[in-house]
Each structure stands twice: as structure tokens, then as C-alpha cells.
């Protein structure tokens, strides 16, 4: 289990619980995703003035599901598309393939999210 939290200063806090099914490479992969993708996505969204929360889950096949919750409860599809495009631009600038990522932008009140919080 990984926990990744970001605040106004985008500090991170990572903790790992012992799981028999996690390998050292799984842990390292998750840390790389946090450091190379998620932190930068959060920074770019913050820099563009978006209020949001972010959660993620690294799936067994190494794909990553990211849920970005906009604080604007009446967010337009245009705003959601803008936020998703920012995340995709960051991903394309990394060594990871964009098709490995599923990005969902939802209103903050929506509770259908992965188990890991950023």
C-alpha cells in the first residue's frame, strides 16, 4: 500500500506496508511513477490555478489509473478536458507510454475512486 499526499507546496509523503505479493521492483516502479509523473502533474495543475485532489492506483499489469478530482463541483467538460490534457502532456514528456495511463477527471463529490490518495 502506498500513500502519496500533496499540499500547496507539493511535498510528498510515501509509506509502504508489507505485502507478500509486492516485489522490490513493484515498489520501485510505484516510486518512479510518483516522482516522475504524479508530482509533475500536480505541479502543472497547481501552476495553472486548478484546485484539485489526486488519487492513483498502480495495477498489477503496471498500468496506472489516475483520478483527478476538481474542486469545482460545476466543472464544465471543457475544464475537465483541459486538466486531462495537462496530465497527458506531462506523461508524454516522460519515459512512460501514455496508453499505460487511464486518467479520469471527476467532480470532488464523486466517490468512485481508486484506493491510493495523492
**Helix/strand/coil (H, E, C) string of 52-89?**
EEEEEEECCCCCEEEEEEECCCCCCHHHHHHHHHHHHH
Beta strand pairing call for 64-70 and 101-107: parallel
pTM value > 0.75: no
- pLDDT of residue 96 exceeding 70, the answer is yes
pLDDT tens digits, 97-114: 999 999 999 987 655 544
Q: What local confidence, expressed as pLDDT, does residue 109 receive?
A: 63
Amino acid at each position: 500500500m502506498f500513500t502519496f499526499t500533496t499540499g500547496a507546496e507539493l511535498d510528498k509523503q510515501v509509506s509502504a506496508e508489507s505485502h507478500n505479493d509486492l516485489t522490490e521492483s513493484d515498489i520501485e516502479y510505484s516510486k518512479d511513477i510518483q516522482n516522475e509523473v504524479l508530482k509533475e502533474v500536480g505541479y502543472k495543475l497547481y501552476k495553472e490555478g486548478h484546485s484539485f485532489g489526486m488519487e492513483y492506483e498502480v495495477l498489477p499489469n503496471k498500468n496506472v489509473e489516475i483520478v483527478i478530482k476538481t474542486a469545482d463541483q460545476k466543472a464544465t467538460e471543457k475544464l475537465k478536458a483541459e486538466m486531462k490534457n495537462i496530465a497527458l502532456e506531462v506523461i508524454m514528456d516522460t519515459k512512460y507510454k501514455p496508453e499505460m495511463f487511464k486518467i479520469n477527471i471527476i467532480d470532488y463529490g464523486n466517490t468512485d475512486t481508486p484506493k491510493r490518495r495523492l
